[in-house]
Every structure is written in structure tokens, then in C-alpha cells.
Amino acid sequence: MKKVLVTGGTGLVGKALQAVIKNEQPSDEEWFFAGSKDADLTNLAATQALFEKVKPTHVIHLAAMVGGLFHNMNNNLDFLRNNLLINDHVLQTAHELGCTKVVSCLSTCIFPDKTTYPIDETMVHNGPPHASNYGYSYAKRLIDIQNHAYHDKYGHLYTSVIPCNIFGPHDNYKPEVSHVIPGMINRMHKLRTEHPETPESEKVFTVYGSGKPLRQFIYSLDLAKLMIWVLRNYDSVEPIVLSVDESSEVTIYEVAEAIAKAFNFKGKLVCDTSKADGQHKKTASNAKLRSLLPDFKFTDFQEAIEASVLWYTTNYDLARN
Ligand code: NAP
Ligand code: GDP
């Protein structure tokens, strides 16, 4: 019997894993989804107590201090320290309790800022990350170093995945914390519902920055399926990029258009160039994933945006606003 502990099991990706597992849980797997109320993983004793209670054989390690460009720019020290602590506590406790496999989560935003494209798994440590999120990036990069160190010393199969930007139901919509898609969904919903006396055609939606940066976005339910595949079938310590194809990259302005279409928003979209753009692009290659799983079908971006907007408007009261 496999006992799988998901840290960060209450967040965007954790909720997507819960949804996928609910529909297809094999009889030889038992899953436990932990949030910060179950254990504050910045605390070693609390981490150990959680592992002793659940007794996992396998871990999907999602828990992290997570946020969009503006949250990172203002909090690099906290992103560095909290994530270093969480990652060391989870990996070392998994080791001490004899977990056979740990799949941790990196991100395409930890890649070097000055680089050639597309970026791949071999390039994680090739140069400094973008200055906006160096705290998060260096803490995440060290997971890969630590995985290799456990492998060298003990032969453990502790590995990592590198998702591109993620979105979907149960995202974090808090304006000061959110990534671009939940941030825009929150702001557009507010703009549409506030001041009902103003005709919508006169309302203006602000796209932060120039709208020109490029991003690859994966729907959280697609990522959850891929992470379950990694847990069951990917047996290498080397990280693997979990991203949509390079051809699916979109501009931030196109993201705003897709969200406007999902809301049927009739007003104007205007870019505010006084706000930061962040990294221009971080185009990642999913060739390794494609070589192992050639037939995987990603959800169409517009369809996934529509499902995410529908989830938000239907579940507004329980969303992280
Ligand atoms: P999220 O929605 O913000 O969820 C974060 C999760 O971590 C929550 O379950 C939260 O628990 C938990 N957590 C945070 N601090 C904790 C602590 N001190 N102790 C215990 N649990 C703690 O984030 P997400 O988007 O699902 O991210 C999941 C993983 O994907 C992260 O490792 C992140 O770095 C990575 N990732 C995210 C993106 C993206 O675009 N979102 C892109 C690439 C990679 P509570 O909610 O219960 O407090
Ligand atoms: P990143 O992909 O790690 O840089 O993080 P984000 O998901 O926060 O995306 C940042 C990009 O979206 C930047 O170019 C921002 O200027 C732009 N952006 C436009 N509107 C918003 C918004 O409402 N929230 C956030 N976080 N970014 C926005």
C-alpha cells in the first residue's frame, strides 16, 4: 500500500490533485492532503509530528510561500527563508521516516534571467534568476541540489517537477499576493459588479505593465494529472519540466483578452506601464515530457480560463479573496 502525503494539499495545485484523485484512486494508494492548519512546515517539530501521524511512503511536496510578481518584489527575504525552512524540514523528515519517493515543485520562474531559449531542465543553475524573485528562486533551486545530495549519500529517489505558470479553481485571488490570472479575475469581477450605474462600455480594465511579457500557462487539473504520472512512473532525480508547448505561449495582454471574453466584459483594456513587467519571458521546452508522454492533451487555454472564471464567480464566498 502506498501512502501519499501531499504538503500544500489545500492550495491551487493541492485542490486540483484532490479533484483528480477523487475520480481515479487505485486501491493500493491512500492519499492525505495537508494544509498549514495540519502543520506549519516552517517548524521542524510540527513537520515531524505530521509525518509521524500520516506515516507516508510517498510525498508530493507543494507547500511553499507562493505569490505573483509584486508579492515577490516586496518580500524576497521571506520567500527565501520560509521556503528554505519548509523544504529542508520536509525533505529531511521524509528521509528520517524512510519515505521512498518525494516529488517537489520548482517553477519556470527560477530559471536564469539571461539565457538562451527554450530553457530546459539542464539549465536551472546556469545563472542568476530575475532580480524580482531571487529569494523564491534560490530557495527552490536548492531543492534540486538537496535531492541530488540525498541520492548521492543514500540512493533516494527524491525528484522535482518544473511547472510553468499555473491557474485554475481555488487559486489565490488576494490582490497583493496573486499571480496575473487570479489577480485579473478578481479585479475584473470587481470592476463589473461595482458601480452598476456606469455602463460597462465606459469601464476601463487596467493591465499592469506593458502587456508584452510572454508566459506559458498550465491548467491546474492538467498539472495534477501530470504530477500523479510523475509520482507513479518517473524514476529519475533530475527535474522534469511540466509545461504546455512553446507554441502555446501568450502575452499578458492576450491573457487579459481571454479573461475579458470569459466575463463577456464590454469595456476597454488599458496597459499601465508605470507598473513592473517582471521577466520578459521564460519560455520552457517540454521536450522531455513529450518524449515520455507523447499523447498528453492539454486543456485549451480559453476553455480553461472560462472554467476558472466560472469557478470564481460561482464560489466567490469561499475563494481566497
Ligand atoms: P497556493 O495555492 O498558494 O498553496 C500553497 C499551499 O502551501 C497551501 O496549501 C498552503 O496551506 C501551504 N503552505 C504555505 N505555507 C505553509 C506552511 N508554512 N506550512 C504548511 N503549509 C504551508 O500555491 P500553489 O500555486 O498551489 O503552489 C503549489 C506549488 O507549485 C508550490 O510549490 C509553488 O512554488 C509551485 N508553483 C506554483 C506556480 C503558480 O503559478 N501558482 C507556478 C510554478 C510552481 P494553507 O492554504 O492551508 O495555508
Ligand atoms: P510571473 O509570471 O512570475 O512574473 O508572475 P505573475 O503571474 O505575477 O505575472 C506577472 C506579469 O503579469 C507581469 O508582466 C505583470 O506586470 C503582469 N500583470 C498584469 N496584471 C497583473 C495583475 O493583476 N497581477 C499580477 N500579479 N500581474 C499582473
Query: Distance (Å, rounded) from C-alpha 220 to C-alpha 167?
Result: 6
Mutate to test the pocket of ligand 1, among 20, 33, 66 (most ligand atoms within 8 A of CB): 66
Count of residues in the chain:
321
Cell 487579459, residue? 256
Domain-embedded: residue 44: yes
Mean pLDDT of the chain: 97
Q: Give the pLDDT score at 19.
A: 97
Phi/psi at 276 (nearest 5 deg)?
A: -70, 150
Q: In 3D, which of 80, 99, 105 has the Cα closest to residue 12? A: 105
Domain-embedded: residue 309: no
252 lines ligand 2 (CB under 6 A): yes
179 CA to centre of ligand 2 in angstroms: 6
Stretches where the chain sits below pLDDT 70 are: none
Q: In 3D, which of 148, 156, 127, 159 has the Cα closest to residue 279? A: 127
Query: Distance (Å, rounded) from C-alpha 63 to C-alpha 102?
Result: 13
136 is catalytic: yes
Q: Find the catalytic residue in 136, 150, 234, 312.
A: 136
198 CA to centre of ligand 2 in angstroms: 27
Tally of domains in the chain = 1
Contacts of 185 (CB under 8 A, 6+ apart): 171, 173, 259, 308, 309, 312
Query: Distance (Å, rounded) from C-alpha 77 to C-alpha 58?
Result: 30
7 CA to centre of ligand 1 in angstroms: 8
Within 13 Å and on the Cβ side, how many CA atoms surround 130?
A: 17
Domain-embedded: residue 257: no
Domain-embedded: residue 241: yes
Mutate to test the pocket of ligand 2, among 180, 187, 269, 270 (most ligand atoms within 8 A of CB): 180
Domain-embedded: residue 317: no
Q: Give the pLDDT score at 25.
A: 80
Ligand nearest to the CA of 105: 1
Question: Which CATH number does the domain housing residue 242 bear?
Answer: 3.40.50.720
What is the domain range of residue 162? 2-168+216-247+283-300
Q: Give the pLDDT score at 273.
A: 98
Domain-embedded: residue 263: no
Q: Model-level pTM? A: 0.98
Question: Count of CB atoms within 10 A of residue 14's CB?
Answer: 22
Q: In 3D, which of 258, 254, 248 has the Cα closest to residue 299? A: 248
Domain-embedded: residue 183: no
Domain-embedded: residue 119: yes
Q: Grid coordinates in use for 53?
A: 501521524
Q: Give the pLDDT score at 26.
A: 85
